[in-house]
Structure 1
Amino acid sequence: MLFEIRSVRHQPDLISFAWNDVGGFYNVYKDGKHLYEGDAAEFQDGDLEDGKVYQYLIERVENNQVVDVMAMQTSAFAMEKNIENPLQSLVVTAIVAKTQIALSWEEINDVVGYGIYRNGEFIGMVNTNRFIDRDIDVDQSYVYLIRSRRPIHKSGERFASMKSALSNVFGALTASRSETAIETFTTVKLIGKPKTILRPMNEREQEPESIDQWRFRYTTFLADEWVRNPNPLSPNHFFKGDGRGFDPTGEGFRTRVDIELAYDEKGEPMRFTKEVGPSIAYDHLKRFREKAKASADGITMERTDRGKGESGFILTHCIGNPLAAAPSIDYEVTADFNREGTFDMSGYFDPAPHHEIYLIKGRGDRWRSILQVESRGLAFMSDAIAYHYWRCTNFE
């Protein structure tokens, strides 16, 4: 019998879990605090905050020596769900053992299947809200991506019925009717090296590692060199694209937002910068006609503080093309960054243009990819089109 968690149960005010009883006695820690010692292979925790993420460590002890360790990251059940951003309040559980990495997630209503990717490679489809990976290397980190879709008319989002009807009409005129009325959900889980996560508590530092700085970057861009204006009556037949692929430091972009949180500076400042790229229009022969730059006033950031060492923000974005009566690029991000190294980010956006999100943890200079999504075409920027929802968390 393997030392693995066999069940996890969430209730509004309780997290309970049980594991295979393989002998010895057990220690249970929650966020580094010792809560249980005994020979029962189960534990219940009722000291919870609504929606808060917790990390549990379960040690198996024989002859006063820790012989095996498991770790679990999960969150308390959220009593109130975020209707506008449905992934933000869903429970996602990650379990790490020497023999497996197991993921489970709160079901999304009316979703019938989930696509699983590991380190960028498609693994397969699952029909349940869980996935177990036994082909792991304890010295390797992993990125799991879970993707699903559903018709917008089954959404609980406000004005979903109206938006669904508009999507069908808009789809009939432009892109596929079925595609414009389909919501996409992407959940990303970053798992650190199991060997590091599974260190016994007595081998860890007394004080957890502090992350002095977080840097966040969100960029939208047009990958093509030239973009045809969807409006055939406009004298501006073409717009100059950014002509590039995904790149955290790519020079061309429609918009770019940088947010830096410095925990090690007085007052723990959060710096916010925003920039809008120029719009350049050409005629039917691709001869220059005019150039303009939209105002950045449509990009706003509000800081949110949960407590000491727990800060975040709400970022909203609505920027249009100053040379065309076209829909705006719309997105929203909610993020929380913990000084002990965990983060939780979620949001939604129109499926156009290209979107890329990156993060730097600590005072390094290497951007880590969080999400890269290709444009589905400028027709998908309409307010009538279903959103792409996303969430990314880490367990390291």
Structure 2
Amino acid sequence: MFKKKTIGMIAGIGLIIGLNIPSSVKADENLKVKVQSTPSSITLDWNDLGVNYQLYDNNQKLWEGNDSEYIHTNLPDNDQHSYYLRAFNQDGDTVDELSIRTFTKKAKNTKVKTITSLPSDEEKLSNITVASSVNDQELTIEWDQNIPDDDGDIEIFKNGVNIGTTTKNTFIDKDIEQDTDYLYEFVGKKRISEEKIQDILNDYKKRNVTITPAEEDDLFYNTFNLTRNVSTKIEHPTIATAAVVTDFTLRYTTFIPMKYASNPWPLWPLIPYNGPTYFNGNDRGFDKNSTRFKTRMDVKISFPNNIGTASLTSTNKHVEKSILYDQNYKIISERNASSAGMNIRDVTSGTGKVSFNAYHDIGLPYFDSITPDITYAFNATIYPNGGYIITGSHDKAPSHEIYLTNNSNIIRVVHQREHVGFLYLAPPYPNYTINSSY
């Protein structure tokens, strides 16, 4: 907690000795806040920067006073709050302002099918609550529990670029521009069991393939991504804001980045060809609007009268054709897999939010019973201002991308993860686990 203010005493001394003290702090000091959430409350505790403060929540004035702490109580669980905090000096001038976004905690653990081999760690990641705060100098991201990791040294990525590591549950970035969106990833890794490692080694030996040191990081570790989307635009509650967007699409796409993908599963004598085979890839990188993909799920989300709804119809479930080639890239066969393995369940509509579980289990349309499927599962809560919490896990193959969109315009990049290898589609190979929010 920050030290509570003694501004009244300092200002009094200033008047006695005839000094003009515009505020109680150094010119280069900024508002800083600590955020603590429970299922029914949010505590904001900030440094002593002024003599008076105003606090807004979702564009409505919540409180005004001279304390440096506010406890917001009687809140629903799993609820999003966008605060605006302004500090004033004794002359009534603004000293600093801060935008804060956070959530109340979930009242109970999310119930969603897991594909990871470490469900307890997936549960830990899914129950981490994240807060972010922004002023014109810096942004701060803090999380209330440790990210699963063997040594506690968490990798940090900013817009996909590795910028270092941290052992703390707080990150401050001073290298920012105003009115800009940033995507931060905090990545922990935990080594899988020695039994599973031995199974992987045996599998590679059967395939007569040598594991390189660079591959061990993916092969022998489950990966845990805590992702936070942050906008440095400070929303001033006294300025008229645009109408709130209330219709969204949560788009989850899988794709194969290369043009041709080597088939690691022997299909002969199930097909009349005994040489190397390849599958068609999508020959692209991350792109929300690309028409080249393996599977795509578009969950439609709306908030009529501020009550959240979510739906996934057959017209919004897409599986593209799988083409099997011989070693000369001549077509052996073309088939389409069913989209029946894509669905959402447990839709919970509420005032100002909607939650649901999504599942994806789509097989290869060539002897599906003996080849692994592309699998993912996640829980999502979406809010009418474009905020979200998405937690779950997916295979390390192929490439995965998630976007929150409105009228085909991208609102937020939720998650992007590159393809590692097709062997990761099946146990004992490890997975990615995610907790992404805005």
Given the two structures, how large is their TM-score scaled by the length of structure 2? Answer: 0.77
Which stretch has the larger CA shift, 97-106 or 64-73? 64-73
Is the 2:310–2:356 Cα contact (8 Å) retained in structure 1? no
Is the 2:80–2:387 Cα contact (8 Å) retained in structure 1? no
Query: What is the Cα deviation at residue 279 of structure 1?
Result: 2.0
**Equivalent residue for 1:161?**
none
The secondary structure found in structure 1 opposite 2:50 is coil
Match of 1:99 among 111, 119, 137: 137
CA distance in structure 2 between the partners assigned to 1:187 and 1:256 by the alignment:
23
The secondary structure found in structure 2 opposite 1:379 is helix
Once the two structures are superposed, the pairs formed by residues 296-311 of structure 1 within 5 Å of their partners are 296-302=339-345, 304-311=347-354
**Equivalent residue for 1:180?**
219
**Equivalent residue for 1:134?**
174
CA distance in structure 1 between the partners assigned to 2:340 and 2:325 by the alignment:
26
Is the 2:312–2:343 Cα contact (8 Å) retained in structure 1? no
CA distance in structure 2 between the partners assigned to 1:119 and 1:233 by the alignment:
40
Structure of larger gyration radius: 2
CA distance in structure 1 between the partners assigned to 2:201 and 2:57 by the alignment:
49
1:201-244 deviation per Cα after TM superposition (whole angstroms, max 9, x unaligned): 32345xx8321321222221222222222234623631332241
Consecutive unaligned residues of structure 2, counting only runs of 5 or more, are: 1-25, 111-119, 205-210
Identity rate of aligned residues, in percent? Answer: 25
Which stretch has the larger CA shift, 375-384 or 172-181? 172-181
1:276-332 deviation per Cα after TM superposition (whole angstroms, max 9, x unaligned): 122222334444322221111111123623413422432100111121421111001
1:351-370 deviation per Cα after TM superposition (whole angstroms, max 9, x unaligned): 00111222213x35457533
Which stretch has the larger CA shift, 287-296 or 374-383? 287-296
Once the two structures are superposed, the pairs formed by residues 157-172 of structure 1 within 5 Å of their partners are 165-172=195-202
Once the two structures are superposed, the pairs formed by residues 233-272 of structure 1 within 5 Å of their partners are 234=268, 235=273, 237-246=276-285, 247-263=287-303, 270-272=311-313
Is the 1:171–1:179 Cα contact (8 Å) retained in structure 2? no
CA distance in structure 1 between the partners assigned to 2:295 and 2:372 by the alignment:
15
CA distance in structure 2 between the partners assigned to 1:230 and 1:147 by the alignment:
29
**Equivalent residue for 1:150?**
190
CA distance in structure 2 between the partners assigned to 1:267 and 1:69 by the alignment:
31
**Equivalent residue for 1:386?**
430
CA distance in structure 2 between the partners assigned to 1:366 and 1:204 by the alignment:
23
The secondary structure found in structure 2 opposite 1:380 is helix
CA distance in structure 1 between the partners assigned to 2:297 and 2:347 by the alignment:
17
Q: CA RMSD in A?
A: 2.9
**Equivalent residue for 2:247?**
213
**Equivalent residue for 2:388?**
343
1:370 aligns with 2:411: no
Query: What is the Cα deviation at residue 10 of structure 1?
Result: 4.3
Which stretch has the larger CA shift, 83-92 or 215-224? 83-92
1:44 aligns with 2:68: no
Paired amino acid for 2:397: A
1:202 aligns with 2:223: no
CA distance in structure 1 between the partners assigned to 2:348 and 2:296 by the alignment:
24
**Equivalent residue for 1:69?**
97
Q: 1:292 to 1:193 in 2, by over 3 A?
A: same
Is the 1:215–1:260 Cα contact (8 Å) retained in structure 2? yes
For these two proteins, the number of residue pairs brought into alignment is 378
Which stretch has the larger CA shift, 305-314 or 331-340? 305-314
The secondary structure found in structure 1 opposite 2:61 is strand
CA distance in structure 2 between the partners assigned to 1:390 and 1:268 by the alignment:
23
Query: What is the Cα deviation at residue 270 of structure 1?
Result: 3.4
The secondary structure found in structure 2 opposite 1:376 is coil
Match of 1:88 among 126, 129, 141: 126
**Equivalent residue for 2:207?**
none
Query: What is the Cα deviation at residue 42 of structure 1?
Result: 1.6
Is the 1:358–1:367 Cα contact (8 Å) retained in structure 2? yes
Query: What is the Cα deviation at residue 382 of structure 1?
Result: 0.8
Which stretch has the larger CA shift, 328-337 or 277-286? 277-286
Is the 1:150–1:183 Cα contact (8 Å) retained in structure 2? yes
Given the two structures, how large is their TM-score scaled by the length of structure 1? Answer: 0.84
1:280 aligns with 2:323: yes
**Equivalent residue for 2:22?**
none
Consecutive unaligned residues of structure 1, counting only runs of 5 or more, are: 154-163
**Equivalent residue for 1:159?**
none
CA distance in structure 2 between the partners assigned to 1:43 and 1:149 by the alignment:
36
Q: 1:285 to 1:70 in 2, by over 3 A?
A: closer
Q: 1:300 to 1:193 in 2, by over 3 A?
A: same
The secondary structure found in structure 2 opposite 1:69 is strand
Is the 1:244–1:250 Cα contact (8 Å) retained in structure 2? no
CA distance in structure 2 between the partners assigned to 1:131 and 1:269 by the alignment:
34
Is the 1:299–1:318 Cα contact (8 Å) retained in structure 2? yes
**Equivalent residue for 1:332?**
377
